[in-house]
Structure 1
């Protein structure tokens, strides 16, 4: 990049010196200036996207909304930041695909950085049957969540009835953990909550639909 701008400055100075020498010897340079102006305009229009990506790259490097290794959502792509360049940002998706995003698209859209803060909330929903004891279900869920070694005591986990579904009473379960422990907590609690709810006598209903058949006379 330094070599590119050095070359650009060098040739710019050379053109300026050439025009000055021609003018010194009485040669009209207006036509040369007009041609150079038109050429510069054409090049500028052709490289508009490149300059936009460069400017966005500078903004990213200055303000640092993310760093290498962060898990981000950028321009509709979720992945780990592998490289931050002046013109583009490279992501490795969670299934190990490489995605190169122009910096103009990165800076011009919403950026979600999952590693920006030290802690994250794990949002989960668990349903029990309408015939189950809600107090027992709530106590079982809360004790199981609080017993997990990676769940933080503060902020305290939230366990509340959030929805009366078609076939289940749904609890909103919202524990907090360190950002790096998010997926471990998420997977562990899904397994352990199913096991503990069944031990406590609560059912975990599956979606069902009642079909009524009406016989038409004749």
Structure 2
């Protein structure tokens, strides 16, 4: 019993300073990490870094420093860090192989947040989906489609595919085609189409809208009508122009050709 007590006393004397030192390092380290993360976010906020990117980088700094702190505390207790590092490396490799898709999405999210091909509120088209960017998360991006549906796209495929940002330039061209009869006066038809565009306040003056003959089709002369609009007014201009063109051409007595079915009667 005396031998066990002596051994326990020796261990207590040997490890108590190490435990207290490790505990002190842990407490001070956690406070220091919290301060560093808070200061980093404050600096990024002053420099206008996107809020989502601020949170992402803040979490990355926090977890990296906590991992380093954990290794420091364990080494202070006398555990061999070389073996510990090997275990962490093997575990990291196993986790990486199991989560290849998630890590790809994680990397894609980092790329999107750093290079910013789009931001929250932009109208984009990607992976066959068109919608307004509602939220950019670490693994996925959420789009609100024109039909008010929520589309969730993995960041891995999103960052590696084609992205069309309709909002980036601030203005969009509306591409419309209207056909008139070959009997109609081309000059008059063109003037009517231009009047329709000029009378719509949502059609921008700069860039100027254009109306040009685009095709001499089988049964019609087709005009390429190209008004410009702000992104928010795109569909208003599209639908209003289509309706107003029909009304204006009808009022001027200009025919809009349409397919006719011809019935052939057989004799006998």
| TM-score normalised to structure 1 length | 0.81
Aligned to 1:155, the other structure's residue is in SS state: coil
Q: Which of 45, 68, 78 does residue 97 from structure 2 map onto?
A: 45
132-141 vs 145-154, greater mean Cα deviation: 145-154
CA distance in structure 1 between the aligned counterparts of 2:100 and 2:154, rounded to whole angstroms: 13
State whether structure 2 residue 211 is matched by structure 1 residue 154: no
> Deviations 1:165-190 (Å, cap 9, x if unpaired)?
23221100011122222221111111
Deviation at 1:14, TM superposition (A): 4.6
State whether structure 2 residue 153 is matched by structure 1 residue 101: yes
Aligned to 1:153, the other structure's residue is in SS state: coil
CA distance in structure 2 between the aligned counterparts of 1:173 and 1:149, rounded to whole angstroms: 16
Deviation at 1:137, TM superposition (A): 1.0
Alignment of structure 1 residues 125-204 onto 2, 5 Å: 125-204=177-256
Query: Which residue of the partner structure matches residue 68 of structure 1?
Result: 120
Query: Which residue of the partner structure matches residue 58 of structure 1?
Result: 110
Aligned in 2, Cα 1:158/1:3: closer, same or farther, shift over 3 Å?
closer
Unaligned runs of 5+ in 1: none
Structure with the higher strand share, 1 or 2: 1
> Deviations 1:40-61 (Å, cap 9, x if unpaired)?
3221111222222122212211
State whether structure 2 residue 142 is matched by structure 1 residue 90: yes
Deviation at 1:38, TM superposition (A): 3.9
**Bigger relative contact order (CA 8 A; separation at least 6):** 1
State whether structure 2 residue 188 is matched by structure 1 residue 121: no
Alignment size in residue pairs = 211
Rg larger in structure? 2
Query: Which residue of the partner structure matches residue 19 of structure 2?
Result: none
Aligned in 2, Cα 1:187/1:5: closer, same or farther, shift over 3 Å?
same
